Structure 1
Amino acid sequence: MASHRISGPSRQICQALRTQKPSNLSRPCFIRSVTTEATIPSDSPAQLQFEAQQGIAALETSSWQSKPPTSVPLSETRGFNPVKNPFLTNATVTTYNFPNMEPLGLVSYPGTHFLVPTRKDILHRAVVFEGDKTRQGTASTKWRDEVHGSNKKVRPQKGTGSARLGDKKSPMLKGGGVAHGPKPRDFSTGLPKKIYDLAWRTALSYRYKKGELVVVENELELDCADTSRERYLLDLLNWHKMGHAHGRTLFIAGRKRHSLFDTLKPERMGRHAKALPVHDVDVKDLLELGRLVIERQALEEILRDHQSDLVRSHHFR
Structure 2
Amino acid sequence: MASRRAAVPAKYLFNGFKAYEQPSPCFARSMATATATSETPSSNPTPIPQATLSQTHNDATLHSAPTKPILEDQVSIPPAAPAKPSYAQAFQPQPNPFAQKAQCTLYNFPSFEPTSFVSYPSTHLLLPLRKDILHRAVIFEGDAARQGSANTKWRSEVHGSGRKVRPQKGSGSARLGDRKSPMLKGGGVAFGPKPRDFSTELPQKVYDRAWRTALSYRYRRGELMVVEDEIEISGVHEDSLERYMMDILRWNKLSRNRGNDEGRSLFLTMQRREGLYKALRGDGMFKHARAIEAAWVDVKDLLEGARVIVERMALETLFEEHQSDLPERSKLRNVMPELYLQEGKVLGKRES
SS at match of 2:107: strand
2:163 aligns with 154
Contact 1:251 1:275 in 2 (8 A): yes
| Candidates 226, 237, 241, aligned match of 2:253 | 241
1:36 aligns with none
2:330 aligns with 314
Structure 1 CA distance for aligned equivalents of residues 270 and 165 of structure 2? 69
Q: CA deviation at 1:266?
A: 6.0
Residue 290 (structure 2) pairs with residue 281 (structure 1): no
Structure 1 CA distance for aligned equivalents of residues 147 and 328 of structure 2? 38
Structure 2 CA distance for aligned equivalents of residues 253 and 179 of structure 1? 48
2:114 aligns with 103
Segments of 5+ residues of structure 2 without an aligned counterpart are 1-79, 85-92, 334-352
Structure 2 CA distance for aligned equivalents of residues 186 and 316 of structure 1? 35
SS at match of 2:316: helix
Matches within 5 A, 1:1-317: 69=81, 84-137=95-148, 139-149=150-160, 154=163, 169=180, 171=182, 175-223=186-234, 224-244=236-256, 245-247=258-260, 248-265=264-281, 267-317=283-333
SS at match of 2:295: helix
2:90 aligns with none
1:189-221: per-residue Cα shift (whole Å, max 9, x none)? 332222221111111111112221111122211
Contact 1:86 1:115 in 2 (8 A): no
Judged with a 3 Å threshold, the aligned counterparts in structure 2 of structure 1 residues 145 and 283 are, in CA distance, closer, same or farther, namely: same
SS at match of 1:144: coil
Structure 2 CA distance for aligned equivalents of residues 156 and 211 of structure 1? 71
Contact 2:106 2:117 in 1 (8 A): yes
SS at match of 2:283: helix
Q: CA deviation at 1:118?
A: 1.4
Structure 1 CA distance for aligned equivalents of residues 309 and 120 of structure 2? 17
Structure 1 CA distance for aligned equivalents of residues 247 and 166 of structure 2? 81
SS at match of 2:300: helix
Judged with a 3 Å threshold, the aligned counterparts in structure 2 of structure 1 residues 285 and 90 are, in CA distance, closer, same or farther, namely: same
SS at match of 1:228: helix
The AA in structure 2 aligned to 1:189 is T
Structure 1 CA distance for aligned equivalents of residues 332 and 160 of structure 2? 61
Judged with a 3 Å threshold, the aligned counterparts in structure 2 of structure 1 residues 107 and 165 are, in CA distance, closer, same or farther, namely: same
The AA in structure 2 aligned to 1:241 is K
Structure 2 CA distance for aligned equivalents of residues 240 and 266 of structure 1? 20
Contact 1:212 1:291 in 2 (8 A): yes
The AA in structure 1 aligned to 2:163 is V
Give TM-score, length-normalised by structure 2. Answer: 0.59
Structure 2 CA distance for aligned equivalents of residues 236 and 155 of structure 1? 72
The structure that is helix-richer by fraction is 1
Structure 1 CA distance for aligned equivalents of residues 184 and 249 of structure 2? 63
SS at match of 1:252: strand
Moved more, 161-170 or 222-231: 161-170
Contact 1:246 1:290 in 2 (8 A): no
RMSD of Structure 2 on Structure 1 (CA) = 3.2
Higher relative contact order (CA 8 A, sep 6+): 1
Judged with a 3 Å threshold, the aligned counterparts in structure 2 of structure 1 residues 166 and 313 are, in CA distance, closer, same or farther, namely: same
Segments of 5+ residues of structure 1 without an aligned counterpart are 1-67, 73-81
Judged with a 3 Å threshold, the aligned counterparts in structure 2 of structure 1 residues 227 and 71 are, in CA distance, closer, same or farther, namely: farther
Identity %: 56
Q: CA deviation at 1:130?
A: 2.1
Give TM-score, length-normalised by structure 1. Answer: 0.65
